Structure 1
Amino acid sequence: MSQYERKEVAVRRLLEGAPPPVPPELYEEAVRRGGRRLRRHRAVRRLLWCALIVAVVAFAVWASVAQPWVEPPTETTPPLTRW
């Protein structure tokens, strides 16, 4: 029997057997950490959405003021030549 097969048998034995007892304080700690993690994810998601909205508004304001699609006026007049 190879080492891989021994490990596989050990893992199967663990999975098929009864689950090990869990300390009661472990559940409370997991719930506390999970709640904190969810709050952080929500806060980060809201912050990113707000940043995206601010960026879109800033771009719209800049585009309306700068009007990059309009050709700039010429600064010099063409030379006037006689026929």
Structure 2
Amino acid sequence: MNLPQREAAVRRLLERTPPPVPPGLHAEVVRRGSRMLRRRALARRLLWLALLAAAVAFAVWAAMARPWVEPPSTTTPPISDW
């Protein structure tokens, strides 16, 4: 199918009257859409809560372990003659 044939086929499709919409379709779509939005909002809140818990856990660990402090030496320096 070349370009003019494709254009003619698309024009024929667009000139037809659209099929009738079932009567309860709009209410069903709105119900499903609102449920989907609620689930997304809940998932987003749970992810933010998990991120906050991870940040708090990291802050507590860092305060207790203090990884930025140099660990104490495990050996003593050699004693020279006095």
TM range (shorter): 0.7 to 0.9
- Which residue matches 2:54? 55
1:68 — aligned with what?
67
Identity fraction in percent: 62
**What stretches of structure 1 of length at least 5 have no aligned partner?**
none
Shift of 1:20: 2.5
Runs of 4 or more, structure 1, over 6 Å off, are none
Give me the CA root mean square deviation.
2.0
Question: 5+ residue gaps in structure 2?
Answer: none
* TM-score, scaled to structure 1: 0.81
Query: Partner residue of 1:22?
Result: 21
Q: Distance in 2 between matches of 1:19 and 1:43?
A: 37
Shift of 1:38: 0.3
TM-score, with length taken from structure 2: 0.82
Q: How many residues are treated as equivalent by the alignment?
A: 82
Quote how far apart the aligned CAs of 1:7 are.
Answer: 4.4
| 1:20 partner SS | coil
